[in-house]
């Protein structure tokens, strides 16, 4: 089965233009034979929105998102938008469209508000990690900073996910001391680590382009459940990355490497319950 990543450069604040751009990338992914195409974080709006967040927010059922539903009749699509919840809170959201409808929405839980990030000023936190059925099997979605919290992929894996869809808008930084970009090294390390030690596939979609002087570094990749990098896009260039994934590999890998089978979520839960002063489950 083929999965695609649209490593694109959305325009900041141009929802309709970005929607048209999505339809182009979806068509290319479809032509490449992909069953799923994943877009980066906030792919429909751009990332550093600031006050634009409220201007561009829409409900999941908004007509503005209808073209994506329509485009998902014969290929699954995951893309990012600003969700205006029923209670008027704004969320960084990643939708999953399949068979002509929006099937799942993940709201970014961890909102970085430090350094070059200010998510917490403009957005409300998501509060759930839900596994849903994707073209590639049971999946969980993590949006950028969600991936950096190791509890996110852990919770998904323990709830049965075999695929982690990670949508990112990761700014490239840290060029000193001679090496590769600091952020690129960290992300590739995380993706391989989570894949191998949680025995799940990681589909990491990062964007490119610049916003207000900040470069998004790309480097999208698909990592197999044994930690093998199946495909990796170049840094900084727009790329449609297509990788062949084998859902049966997860089955084989989990027999060979039964870490998840032997995991003790009851012990983890008991430790955490004591730590935060909740009743210890018996």
Partner 1 sequence: MSGDHIGAIRPRPGDLSALRIDEALVRKMLVSFLRNETSKFGLKRVVLGLSGGVDSATVAALAVEAFGPASVTALFTPYRTSSDASRRDAEATAARFGLRLEVVEISAQVDAYFAANGGDVADRVRVGNKMARERKSIEYDRSWPDGLVLGTSNKTELLLGYGTQFGDMACALNPVGDLYKTQLRELAAHLGVPDAVLRKPPTADLWSGQTDEGELGFTYAEADLILYHLVDRRLRVDELIAAGFDERLVRRIREMMRRSHFKRVMPLIAKVSLRTVGHDFLYPRDWESD
Q: Which residues bind partner 1 (CB under 8 A)?
A: 9, 11-17, 46, 48-52, 172, 174-182, 185-186, 189, 209-213, 215, 235-236
Residue 178 CB, shortest distance to partner 1, in Å, is 4
Nearer to partner 1, 149 or 210 (CB): 210
Which lies closer to partner 1 via its Cβ, residue 12 or residue 75? 12
Query: Which contiguous run of DSSP H or E holds residue 65?
Result: none
| CB-nearer residue toward partner 1: 12 or 222 | 12
| Residue 184 C-beta: closest distance to partner 1, Å | 9
Residue found under tokens 């485009």: 71
> b or e along 29-53 (b: 16 or more beta carbons within 10 Å of the residue's beta carbon)?
bbeeebbbbbbbbbbbbbbbbeebb
CA distance 159 to 74: 28
Do strands 90-98 and 76-84 pair parallel, antiparallel, or not at all (unpaired)? antiparallel
Smallest distance, partner 1 to C-beta of residue 11, A: 4
Q: Least distance in Å: CB of 135 to partner 1?
A: 30
C-beta of 124 vs 242, nearer to partner 1: 124
Cα atoms in the Cβ-side hemisphere of radius 13 Å centred on 228: 10
Nearest approach in angstroms of CB 39 to partner 1 is 18
Q: Write down the residue that tokens 């003790």 correspond to.
A: 264
- Nearer to partner 1 among residue 54 and residue 278 (C-beta): 54
Q: How far is the CB of 260 from partner 1 (least distance, A)?
A: 24
Pairwise CA distance, residues 125 & 90, whole Å = 9
The minimum distance between CB 270 and partner 1, in angstroms, equals: 33
Integer CA distances (angstroms), 84 to 90, 133, 191, in order: 5, 24, 30
Q: Which is closer to partner 1, CB of 215 or CB of 270?
A: 215
Structure tokens at 264: 């003790």
d(C-alpha 257, C-alpha 277), whole Å = 34
Residue 41: closest CA among 31, 30, 49: 49
Taking the least distance from each CB to partner 1, the nearer of 9 and 161 is 9
What angle in degrees, to the nearest 10, is found between the helix axes of 151-158 and 182-198?
20
């Amino acid at each position: 089965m083929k999965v695609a990543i649209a490593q694109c450069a959305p325009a900041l604040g141009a929802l309709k233009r970005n929607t048209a751009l999505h339809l182009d990338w979806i068509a290319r992914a479809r032509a490449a034979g992909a069953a799923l195409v994943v877009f980066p974080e906030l792919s429909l709006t751009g990332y550093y929105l600031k006050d634009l967040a409220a201007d561009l927010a829409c409900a999941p059922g908004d007509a503005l998102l209808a073209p994506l539903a329509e485009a998902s009749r014969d290929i699954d699509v995951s893309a990012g938008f600003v969700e205006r919840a029923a209670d008027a809170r704004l969320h960084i959201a990643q939708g999953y469209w399949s068979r002509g409808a929006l099937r799942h929405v993940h709201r970014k839980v961890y909102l970085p508000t430090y350094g070059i990030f200010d998510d917490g000023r403009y957005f409300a936190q998501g509060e759930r990690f839900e596994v849903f059925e994707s073209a590639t099997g049971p999946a969980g979605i993590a949006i950028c900073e969600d991936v950096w919290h190791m509890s996110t992929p852990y919770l998904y894996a323990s709830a049965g996910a075999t695929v982690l869809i990670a949508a990112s808008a990761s700014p490239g930084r840290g060029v000193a001391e001679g090496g590769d970009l600091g952020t690129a090294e960290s992300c590739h390390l995380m993706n391989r680590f989570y894949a191998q030690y949680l025995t799940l596939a990681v589909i990491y979609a990062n964007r490119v382009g610049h916003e207000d002087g900040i470069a998004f570094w790309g480097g999208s990749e698909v990592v197999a459940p044994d930690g093998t990098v199946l495909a990796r896009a170049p840094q900084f260039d727009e790329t449609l990355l297509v990788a062949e994934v084998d859902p049966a590999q997860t089955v084989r890998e989990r027999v060979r490497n039964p870490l998840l089978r032997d995991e003790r979520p009851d012990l983890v839960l008991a430790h955490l319950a004591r730590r935060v002063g909740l009743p210890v489950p018996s």
